[in-house]
Amino acid sequence: MSLKLEYENGAELGSLLKILPPVEFCCVYGSTLHPNNSDKSSMVDYVLGVLDPQQWHSENLKMNHDHYASWMVHLGGAKLITKVADGVGVGVHFNPFVSWKDKMFKYGVVRMDDLIQDISKWERFYLSGRLQKPVHILVDNFEIGNLNSVNLRAATSAALLLLPPKFTEEDLFAKICSLSYMGDLRMFFAEDRNKLIQHFLDLRWLNDRH
């Protein structure tokens, strides 16, 4: 859920931002946040919200061109990167396997307007699904954390509609976690199904904390 989780290495989570152009929003999501995660080699996942993706990528290419696929850099640069994200993807461009200070990072860059539409209206139900699970917000110039409460309430309502008349607390958390995977083709050939179990454990742990 969109809550600022206590995390003893919070400064380390934000270290990547020091080598990137400024952003309007940044959150960390995924298994890195789970307190029982002892895998120091696991990739740290970010969502970065910016006002103008093409301008942001143009600046980032000057600073970190090695973060991008070489064919994108040579064939079209920032314009191509943004065009592919908007036309082929879901408005998000991901740079995975970024190495910094002996850690591995992945960051997805999205236009702030698109992020807001997805959170408030489930326009694409991509980033909104990620923000239905535990995240750690590092930068929030648009009060996305507050806006995300709408997303969380909608996810809870949708889960309740999909559950049978009698269900357990665990059933509710599991259904919320499964929403973002419904109809997602990645679940058939690319995405790790164990992530669903991990997300459930994350929500269960978070609830136990409160």
In the predicted structure, residue 172 carries a pLDDT above the cut 50: yes
Compute the average pLDDT of residues 190-210: 48
Q: How confident is the model at residue 178 (pLDDT cuts 50, 70, 90)?
A: confident
Would you state the structure tokens that stand for residue 27, as one six-digit string?
């959150």
- pLDDT at residue 54 is higher than 80: yes
Per-position b or e across 130-161, b if 16+ CB within 10 A of its CB: bbbbbbbbbbbeeebbebbeebbebbbebbee
| pLDDT of amino acid 41 | 65
Choose the most confident range, by mean pLDDT, from 10-19, 34-43, 92-101, 180-189.
92-101
Looking at residue 107, its pLDDT comes to 98
| Helix or strand holding residue 3 (H, E) | none
Q: Are 2 and 205 in contact (CB under 8 A)?
A: no
Which range, of 42-56, 61-75, 124-138, averages the lowest pLDDT?
Answer: 124-138
Torsion over CA: 3, 4, 9, 15 (sign): positive
The confidence score (pLDDT) of residue 184 equals: 47
Kindly state the average pLDDT of the residues 80-90: 91
Mean pLDDT for 117-144 is 93
Q: Give the pLDDT of residue 26.
A: 98
pLDDT at 155 over 90: yes
pLDDT at 198 over 60: no
Q: What's the pLDDT at 181?
A: 75
Q: pLDDT at position 187, please?
A: 36
Residue 69 has pLDDT above 50, yes or no: yes
| Average pLDDT in the chain | 83
pLDDT tens digits along 25-49: 999 998 777 666 666 668 999 999 9
Contact of 72 with 84, CB cutoff 8 Å: yes
